[in-house]
A and B are shown apart, each in its own frame.
Chain A
Amino acid sequence: MQYNPDLLKQYGVSEQELELASASEKEGIDQMRPSVTYWKDAFARFRRNKLAIVMFFLLLAIVLLAIFGPIVSPYTYKQQSKDLRQGPSLKHLLGTDNLGRDMFTRLMYGTRISLLVGVVTMVLVCLIGITYGGIAAYVGGLADNLMMRFVDLMMTIPSMLIIIILSVVLRDPMESLFNNPRFSGLATIGSGLISIFLVLALFNWLGMARAVRASLLMNRSQEYVLASEAMGAKSKWVLTKHLLPNSIGVIIISATGVVPGAIMTESFLSFIGLGVSAPMPSLGSMANTALNGIVSYPQYMLYPALLISMIILCFNILGDALRDALDPKMRK
């Protein structure tokens, strides 16, 4: 056995005096973990959550299929063949629908729409909600009071009703906007979709604004903020180093909570015929078309419904897992 002579000297012991550590003493040594950064630590905690890992890869598969599937697929969402209502085969993996269109390709397009709605709504909600909640918490006083009463007021409005009305009302102005050559780029996304983004963002930012404001105010009153100010920190430092990092869990939870809600609403709107315009499929509109033949051809309902459920489940579980992972108190 080799000993470090410097260490021996430092502790004032000779080589003969040393003895092997007992099992219980070794246990103490094992507990001395290497120092890790906040994000590394969060990632390690996330990785330990088996269910979340499964969901992560499932969602990743769905996302990749939705993005690249339509490019690889030999069919397009509106391309018809003479084989109507085919069962699954090598030619059509999940068969064809009542108009002879490839089911698998249409599902991938539909998922694309659903995910797009979810993500765009989430981004819009984060932008509006964090800004609004942040301003209310920062300014405080009367302005905060008025801003939050406005949120309360918005929350009392039956959102589904307004969303339906708005998507009907917004249709025509959107159409004419897209006919304007200056906005021709937007037309590729489709006017129905844009108005869905708008109405969904309009009614989903309320929860985010409230959560962000509450979290900022709560953290604002903690003594570590005061300590930071005692060191001479400016409000920008306090905001970026203390308030926002401590609110990130709340933001992530609210944001991942928005996604399934938005996908749900979009599916519903498409289901009642207010969403994306045919022949562009969305999971909701596909379920709608399947309704007519649900007894004879239940698989047409099953596929989109299953996909909607899976996407929503993935987002919900991942949101929970992220919240747990981002909280250092959860470390075992």
Chain B
Amino acid sequence: MSDTILELQDLKTYFPVKGSRSQFVKAVDGVSFKVDKGETVGLVGESGCGKSTIGRTIMRFNQPTGGKIIFDGNDITTGDMKPYRQRMQMVFQDPYSSLDPRMSVGDIVGEPLDIHNPKMNPKERYERILEQMKLVGLNSEQMGRFPHEFSGGQRQRISIARAMVIKPEFMVLDEPVSALDVSIQAQIINMLMDLQDQLGMAYLFIAHDLAVVRHISKVVVVMYLGHVMEINTAADLYKNPLHPYTQALLSAIPVPDPKTSRTRKRQVLQGDVPSPINPPSGCVFSTRCPYATEACRASLPQIESVDSHHVVACHRYKEING
């Protein structure tokens, strides 16, 4: 048995452009990484870089155009997802539209049980729901209430309880805290980490906030325009970013100390993210990279291993950081 719960191999998800047969939005274009059992991989990048599409493709809401998704040794790229639905779950970004307004909280949390085990006896069902609600910090009195009576943070707890009630081994967390207040974000993140310690699930944590990802993840994947730029352990990535894009992202994190903030060098990226319909030739980051050369524009950089846990996709990372 391997320690990997999920592996993506050169995953591609393209969407056809409306009114055109030859053009595609290349939302995810050749992404490979692994998620180990019981661990958290953070997936970061700007809006529109394909992070959420990866999450949705793993859940098979979108059919992958190419590559492979391997879940616990089984290829789930095509074919029936039914055996795996119980083992992987997803938490959505918007805590408002992800809960059915007509269902009571108890029924929402119990829905996965009702789907997978419709003949479960009511007492056992009740206890499973209650146990799960307590795990996420809700009480039995709240079971009969409706979602609109809860705050965003509580709703997200309900979403998490629903996803966890069938005890999945792997969860896609699609920006679960980006709609919440900072103080609530910390509560939810800490709760997710506690639950991981207790129940041993693996997370794919999608976010655009590097500070949040740093706190929860063991490994961080940095994406840009459908491509992986750099993968490293969280601890090392923040100390030793090799890819110019990662460096730019890290320099954009605000620093609480004004002295350091004034003296540190900020690297501001010029321009916008290019359209994923017509990505730049060569390295996709070359249009905004301060170090780009002709060679960068000519060919797509291969993923290179720096050491056992660190890979980077840049032609010039050695020169830049040398």
Contacts and interface: CB of A to CB of B under 8 A. Distances in A.
Given A36-B144, A232-B81, A232-B116, A223 B166 contact: no
B8 interface: no
Contact of A231 (B115, B141, B149): B115
Interface in B109-152: 111-112, 115-116, 141, 143-146, 148-149
Nearest to B93: A223
A160 to B, nearest CB: 38
Contacts of A331: 146, 149
Given A227-B92, A231-B115, A232-B86, A328 B148 contact: yes
Nearest to A229: B61
A35 B98 contact: no
Interface residues of A, number: 26
Contact of A246 (B82, B94, B100, B163): B100
A228 interface: yes
A144 to B, nearest CB: 16
A329 interface: yes
26 contacts: A32-B141, A33-B144, A33-B145, A35-B104, A35-B106, A35-B144, A37-B104, A37-B144, A38-B103, A223-B98, A224-B100, A226-B61, A226-B92, A227-B90, A227-B159, A229-B61, A230-B59, A231-B85, A231-B89, A231-B115, A231-B116, A241-B100, A241-B103, A241-B111, A328-B146, A329-B101
Interface string A252-268: 00000000000000000
A250 B177 CA distance: 33
Contacts of B81: 232
Given A36-B144, A227-B159, A232-B112, 9 more contacts: A35-B104, A222-B98, A223-B97, A226-B61, A226-B98, A227-B162, A231-B112, A232-B115, A245-B103
B99 A224 contact: yes
Contacts of B262: none
A245 B103 CA distance: 9
Contacts of B163: 227
Among A33, A38, A224, A237, chain B packs the most CB atoms within 10 A around the CB of A224
Interface in A22-67: 32-38
A328 B86 contact: no
B141 A35 contact: yes
Contacts of A38: 102-104
A245 B107 CA distance: 14
A328 B102 contact: yes
B136 to A, nearest CB: 15
Contact of A232 (B85, B149, B159): B85
Interface string A300-332: 000000000000000000000000000011010
Contacts, number: 82
Majority-rule SS of A interface residues: helix
Interface of A: 32-38, 222-224, 226-233, 237, 241-242, 245-246, 328-329, 331
A81 B141 CA distance: 68
- Listed from nearest, the 7 A-B pairs whose CB atoms lie closest are A35-B144, A232-B85, A223-B98, A328-B146, A231-B112, A224-B100, A223-B92
B115 A329 contact: no
Interface string B257-296: 0000000000000000000000000000000000000000
Contacts of A227: 90, 92, 98, 159, 162-163
Contacts of B149: 331
B89 A230 contact: yes
A35 B102 CA distance: 14
Contact of A328 (B61, B97, B101, B162): B101
B82 A245 contact: no
Given A231-B89, A245-B102, A224 B97 contact: yes
Given A233-B115, A237-B115, A242-B100, A223 B94 contact: yes
Contacts of A33: 144-145
A38 B147 CA distance: 12
B93 to A, nearest CB: 8
Contacts of A231: 85, 89, 111-112, 115-116, 166
Nearest to A328: B146
Nearest to A246: B102
Nearest to B90: A230
